[in-house]
Amino acid sequence: MANIVVVGAQWGDEGKGKIVDLLTESADVVARYQGGHNAGHTVKIKNRQFILHVIPSGILHRGKTCIIGNGVVIEPRSLIEEMEELKRRKISIGKNLHISGRSHVIMPYHMVLDSKHEDSKGAKKIGTTGRGIGPAYVDKMSRAGIRMVDLLDGKVFREKLKANLSDVNFLLEKKYNTKKISVNKVYSEYMKYAEYLAPFITDTVVLINNLIEKGKNVLFEGAQGTLLDIDHGTYPYVTSSNACAGGVCTGLGTGPGNLDGVLGIVKAYTTRVGGGPFPTELQDELGEELRLKGGEYGATTGRARRCGWLDLVSLRHSIRINGLTGIALTKLDVLDGLDKIKVCVAYKYKDPSDSCSCSRKGKACRFTDFPQQAHVLEACEPVYIELDGWKKSTKGATNLKALPKQARAYIDYISESLGVKTDIISTGQKRDEVIVIKNPIEKTEKR
């Protein structure tokens, strides 16, 4: 048995929710370690679809302990709405859900600042959801944040709120020409949230480490994806937290020695939402076909996702950053019916200013490693190899033998190129539309 991290290996939206839901059967605990309600995990069980934003996907299973770690930023109203919606749909929420008292709170002024700051960028917008995630993390790092545990002490909360709004209201009035936010109004609103959430707030660092010491299997659930990681993604077109596997230790307060493996979720093609470089993007009919067939619209915002071919250069970067021990390949069925499938194996780049620092100054460079600078990546052209597509449907397949030989060849090529085995293959949206070659928690393997 094992403690496993599930992490997105691309720009998010890889299908982590379904894989976490699948592996939860073998886990005792599901713990979310970063991000906020800007993320959305979609899980389809028979004819019922659930979209989760902050609550771990394990909540859909009875008898599982779900933890929202200190690395997550929480907007109380949306969390309560999510809880109430799950209750309405007969999902039990009680002693199975625990919220870290160290989690930082998204305040109303964070959302206002988020949208105002994004609007001020004009054509250089990052594509933020405007939900206050970034500003909440800014306050956290500047040591001005309000934490969930602060909501439990009205006096402490009011003092911190008053101090923060003194600065925020000056900014809103003088820079953004926006009306001030009332201390009393926010205080009254958030005290109601505190009363509702108080039974769920606890010291999750003690909780999760005690569970690990007792031999419980923990599934660590990330949001977004590695290429959106604040340190290792396509900065500045990134999220505001560490979405890679390293975020587990800081976002939940447990040591790396407690991690037994990292499963990278890889979509069979590539998508991203919002602005930023995307070398393999298809801005043609095929890109639109992938979008429609794959239902590539954000679970949280409904925004259309940009679609393109699989990118091995970025995936090699994700493998290094996360130390992936296995891959879960998702949405294989979306590629059904294509005559040929392209895979990016390198980038071709020529610095338009002829100031490239490599030995081929002034000439086209070939990158097999992911560039550090967004403007360099923006100017990169993909170098493709072409593989045979398949006409037979893979949708709903539950074993490798049911896949066309070309589909198996595609999977093998990905694994061999990356040096990481494919453990799970998703062949549709539903929970049972999956091929499990190896369960990383149970360590059972069927190759």
173: left (phi over 0), alpha (psi -120 to 50) or beta: alpha
Calpha distance 327→425 (Å, rounded): 9
Return all residues near 362 (Cβ < 8 A) that are at least 6 apart.
350, 351, 354, 356
Q: Tokens representing 45?
A: 């069980």
Strand-pair partners of 363? none
The one catalytic residue among 37, 41, 117, 232: 41
Evaluate whether 445 touches 438 at the Cβ level (below 8 Å).
yes
DSSP state of 283: -
Beta strands 326-330 and 422-426, pairing class:
parallel
Helix (H), strand (E) counts: the chain: 12, 22
d(CA 27, CA 30): 7
* Known active-site residue 13: yes
Among 13, 114, 139, 423, which one carries the catalytic annotation?
13
Backbone angles phi, psi at 395, to 5 degrees: -60, 125
Contact 347, 313 (CB under 8 A): yes
H/E element, 113: helix 108-119
Residue 438 CA to residue 447 CA, distance in Å, equals 8
Q: Under a CB-based contact definition with an 8 Å cutoff, are residues 243 and 7 in contact?
A: yes
Instruction: Say if residues 12 and 40 touch (Cβ distance below 8 Å).
Output: no
Catalytic site positions: 13, 41
